[in-house]
Structure 1
Amino acid sequence: MRAFLLLFLLFPVLELYVFFKVSTAIGFFPALLLIIAGSMLGVLVVRVAGLATALSARESLNRGELPAEQMLHGLMMALGGGLLVLPGFISDVAGLLLLLPPVRSLLVNRLRKRAQEQAIRQRAFADEFDVPTRPGSHTPLGREPNVIEGEFEHRDK
């Protein structure tokens, strides 16, 4: 959490530093035009990625498959477009990397492996808490339900 906060605070400073270095190398207005062009490209990518993801998900559903991988690829493309929309060269480079299919595939595979490991871990813990039940009953073996038998008499006043 602390590292995330530190990154959150340092990221704008790094973006300004890189913008200053690029603007001294190529000039202020060309650097500003690059930032604006990157943002416009990001908006276009977000729109196209959303539509493409929706169409491929619908196609997968029509085939009777779950569109999990297409959704993850679409999410990565949308994240890349969002990073392109942010002003700055560092976020633009990260966004462009997410738009490359090999990088997206690598990240999707890592996310899938991590999700599978998490599911296996959760299943392992869930099995420890399963208690065998009596056949035809929801009462666990070795336990009787908390029922107190008795009689009552209704008295009117």
Structure 2
Amino acid sequence: MIRSLLLFAFGYIILEMILLISLGRAIGLLPTLLLVLGAGFVGAWLARREGLRSAMRMRSQMAAGAMPAAELTDGLLIGLAAVLLIIPGVLGDVIGIALLLPPARAFIRRSLAAKFDKAATFSRFTVDEGGRAMHTPRGDQIIDARVIETRVVEE
């Protein structure tokens, strides 16, 4: 896990360097610096605006008694975008600004939910008309069981 993470970080840094050098050669040093710095400033402004919007939606969801799952995910994605925009680089700026756009965050949120839905094991516990409890995990078979004895033991 750590090895693959280090390989990813190393590859990302190399790719950022290649993109910065290529962009610098194509448009020049000063325009490249202005582009990277400008993206950082615009991204910081967008991150602040979207972060405040997400916090307000989270507050209203919690006041209504609902779990603000989408707003929490948005907050994490906005935080990731802010980090990517702080680190100088072309690829990080593009990804960071994309994460600040609500449609992109909604797409990522749905993709993450689908991925975790497949990975998570959920089950259902029901009671039929005869009073028998049935536990129905996804894709598994139903096993009928009844509780014979229950008691609390104090130590």
Same fold (TM over 0.5): yes
The alignment partner of 1:64 has SS state of coil
The alignment partner of 1:90 has SS state of helix
Per the alignment, residue 27 of structure 1 pairs with: 28
Q: TM-score, normalised by structure 1?
A: 0.71
Per the alignment, residue 4 of structure 1 pairs with: 5
RMSD: 2.7
Contact 1:42 1:82 in 2 (8 A): no
> 1:98, CA displacement in angstroms?
1.6
Structure 1 unmatched runs, 5+? 125-130, 140-157
> 1:71, CA displacement in angstroms?
1.5
Contact 1:41 1:85 in 2 (8 A): no
Q: One-letter code of the match for 2:149?
A: P
Alpha-carbon displacement from aligned partner over 1:94-135 (angstroms, at most 9, x marks no partner): 1122223332112101222233334425885xxxxxx97653
Per the alignment, residue 58 of structure 2 pairs with: 57
Q: Decide which structure has the larger Cα Rg and report it.
A: 1
Identity percentage of aligned residues:
31
Q: One-letter code of the match for 1:63?
A: A
Cα separation, 1, equivalents of 2:9 and 2:25 = 25
Cα separation, 2, equivalents of 1:23 and 1:122 = 55
Higher percent of residues as helix = 1
Matched, 1:135 2:144: no
> 1:90, CA displacement in angstroms?
0.9
Query: Residue 28 and residue 71 in structure 1: after superposition, are their counterparts in 2 closer, same or farther (change >3 A)?
Result: same
Contact 2:43 2:97 in 1 (8 A): no
Number of residue pairs matched by the alignment: 134
Query: Residue 10 and residue 117 in structure 1: after superposition, are their counterparts in 2 closer, same or farther (change >3 A)?
Result: closer
Q: TM-score, normalised by structure 2?
A: 0.72
Structure 2 unmatched runs, 5+? 125-136, 138-144
Contact 2:47 2:100 in 1 (8 A): no
Cα separation, 1, equivalents of 2:46 and 2:58 = 18
Query: Residue 37 and residue 118 in structure 1: after superposition, are their counterparts in 2 closer, same or farther (change >3 A)?
Result: same
